[in-house]
Chain A
Amino acid sequence: GAGVSQSPSNKVTEKGKDVELRCDPISGHTALYWYRQSLGQGLEFLIYFQGNSAPDKSGLPSDRFSAERTGGSVSTLTIQRTQQEDSAVYLCASSLASSGNTDTQYFGPGTRLTVL
């Protein structure tokens, strides 16, 4: 079946603009994760959604970052008033569940965000 998809593949924006990054998880996966991969910080967890539970937002670096997941499927990560330090690859992953043996996370190809 189809894997995790993300759009756009690449996004170039100007400092101060808002951006939206989209993630389509594998059908039937209840858990969805966002990570950020940057040269300076490596791979960092941002946020995760598990079913109808409140999301774990503990990794969001500032209040300029937010994410939502509509209908338990598609997720959108929004970055407001982008800064140059937001430049990174944003990876999305999904899994059947967030614990136990069904927790394997499958990753999308990422969105490369460049803030000029």
Chain B
Amino acid sequence: AQTVTQSQPEMSVQEAETVTLSCTYDTSESDYYLFWYKQPPSRQMILVIRQEAYKQQNATENRFSVNFQKAAKSFSLKISDSQLGDAAMYFCAYRSGGFGKLIFGTGTRLQVFP
């Protein structure tokens, strides 16, 4: 079975600084997708970034980028120029290529200080 591990329950960063959230996963599959979701206090899960396992290039969305290390099964999220609005729970998620359900990590709570 696939598993997703987020080893940092909480992280904090100063506004305008950079922070990296860690995620590792375990799978024997070759076709899969990885996601980072943000969950603010409003509860709504918002997709931050996605990565297809077959793509070697790391995904980037504005201030958010990932470091995808397929051999190490690592998928970290880097947030540059952190803003107060980035404060939220961040979940790493895995999805098999052929099946729809997401498998989530336990989340990392990010605090941003002015």
Contact = CB atoms under 8 A, between A and B. Distances in A.
**Binding site of A, secondary structure by majority: helix, strand, loop or mixed?**
strand
B98 A99 contact: yes
Nearest to B91: A43
A113 to B, nearest CB: 13
B107 to A, nearest CB: 7
A45 B102 contact: yes
A20 B42 CA distance: 22
Interface residues on B, range: 20 to 34
Nearest to B93: A43
A107 B45 contact: yes
* Residue with the highest number of chain A CB atoms closer than 10 Å, among B42, B45, B46, B95: B45
B99 A99 contact: yes
A2 to B, nearest CB: 13
B100 A104 contact: no
Kindly list the 5 A-B residue pairs having the minimum CB-CB distance in the complex, ordered from nearest.
A98-B100, A107-B45, A43-B104, A45-B101, A110-B43
Interface of B: 33, 37, 42-47, 50, 52, 91, 95, 97-107
Interface of A: 31, 33, 35, 42-43, 45, 48, 50, 56, 59, 89, 91, 93, 95, 98-99, 101, 103-110, 112
